Chain A
Amino acid sequence: MAYSDKVLDHYENPRNVGKLDDDDASVGTGMVGAPACGDVMRLQIKVDDNGVIEDAKFKTYGCGSAIASSSLLTEWVKGRSLDEATEIKNKDIADELGLPPVKIHCSVLAEDAIKAAIADVKSKRSNEKASA
């Protein structure tokens, strides 16, 4: 299968690979996918006091398109507010990377990952407020 140049670039030079401290209340983690399906994404965001994503990290087990989708997503969400990040749709990712139809599920997974990370950090914050 031929990969687009953008997929190859993200695969060769993945951006923002790594791990943030999950115990930090300002960090949200989204872990989606399943090993049985051949892809697992872990996307983490660190949100500042104004609700802006100041850092994002990922690790992905999966095909090149899955790696590229999550790598691209970390680039996009940095500097955005949580509300803005929620607006990112899988189609945007698929279009940007030129994913073929059989790889659309990789971009869907990336959208699920950011949604899960946002939900996680929001719930952590409300828990914090509740206990404060």
Chain B
Amino acid sequence: MQYPIYLDYSSTTPVDPRVSEKMVECLTLEGNFGNPASRSHLLGWKAEEAVETARRQVADLINCDPREVVWTSGATEADNLALKGVAHFYSKKGKHIITSKIEHKAVLDSCRQLEREGFEVTYLDPDKNGLTTPSAVADAIREDTILVSLMHVNNEIGVINDIEAIGQLTREKGVLFHVDAAQSTGKIDIDLEKMQVDLMSMTAHKTYGPKGIGALYVRRKPRVRIEPQIHGGGHERGMRSGTLPTHQIVGMGEAYRIAKEEMQDESTRILALRNRLLDGFSDMEEVYVNGDIDHRIAGNLNISFNFVEGESLMMALRDLAVSSGSACTSASLEPSYVLRAIGLNDELAHSSLRMTIGRFTTAEEVDHAIGKIHEAVAKLRELSPLWDMYKDGVDLDQVQWAAH
């Protein structure tokens, strides 16, 4: 086994060797290094061909027209382009945007920026399972609403929003619908013929492609317009200027091609491993799964070990690469805003661990993780005054704590 055991696939994935092989072919003098925008010679044409093949591969995974795919540097840029691009183009139509409280910061911070520019944003509360319901969206839509932006799959708890139902609703109301699909591509089916989504953000590095490349889907029928955010040579139909990084794009294309081909089998295998992991904790007291367990991607397990603080837990799990919703692990001293928004109390938010399983995870690794976590939780509970109090039957909610 290789240490640390990687259980953080929602943060990023290693590049599949089949992908990196294709990428290195597009770098050196002997390879396909030309500028895809060069129209005057063979090297430019060859590079352009590789870029267009990749565009088709991306379009195939999500079932759309390749001309609807705009390359960006990643999902953060795609989110920025979608939100600001739509807001700036349609601002005469209205200035109201709807999103949820548990979106990725790329969406939330873009919304904050738009608020500073005079837009009004409604931040929906998810339900206790972490889902944003179509009825919550319907209730929030107003005369001046121009855009709804929601994530397909939440990055922390892995829950899946009903994009098809919400898309039907926004289309009926004549409101544009943007979906952040950074966590869903290659994990669950995305069919843009069926889903009435107008814009969708994607990234390569969470689907076994390289970091630094992503795409924004922009619907052609009915046509969606966006104001570009990066100006220059007019690449990507003027929506996003900048020389196209052939090797990155080829990497994303190949990664998405593999995803389309292997997704079904891979999900089955990963789900079995996730269930194995969860079963491994069934004999422990005071363990809580955060977020809906059924409407969830196969690879995600977000779980709280009550009375144990997340950072100290991770300290004991140094040969596991996992992440925690505890405050101490982030620059801010607030525990996860996602876990708070789905109603977890602070203790449980501080006690959470996110483990995400992927293509290269083995059963042996999962078993090792279960053993390590058992040991660590037992040790830290032995150290925890809260565990003592719980065992003595003290109701911790009734204790007057001095917040500091």
Contact = CB atoms under 8 A, between A and B. Distances in A.
Contacts of A62: 309, 312
Interface in A1-16: 3, 11, 14
B273 to A, nearest CB: 29
Given A3-B315, A61-B309, A42 B385 contact: yes
Interface residues of A, number: 30
Contacts, number: 83
Given A31-B385, A59-B388, A109-B404, A36 B346 contact: yes
Contacts of A11: 312, 315
B307 interface: yes
A62 B326 CA distance: 10
Nearest to A103: B328
Classify the interface of chain B: helix, strand, loop or mixed. Answer: helix
A37 B404 contact: yes
Nearest to B350: A38
A17 B382 CA distance: 8
Interface stretch (B65-73, B177-185, B395-403): B395-403
Contact of A64 (B311, B386, B403): B311
Given A3-B315, A11-B315, A35-B347, A61 B402 contact: no
A31 B384 CA distance: 12
B383 A60 contact: yes
B23 interface: no
12 contacts: A3-B315, A14-B383, A32-B404, A34-B403, A36-B401, A37-B346, A38-B335, A38-B346, A39-B309, A59-B385, A60-B384, A60-B385
Interface of B: 307-309, 311-312, 315, 326-328, 333, 335, 345-347, 350, 382-388, 396, 401-404
A-B pairs, 6 with minimum CB distance: A34-B401, A36-B346, A42-B385, A63-B311, A59-B385, A35-B347
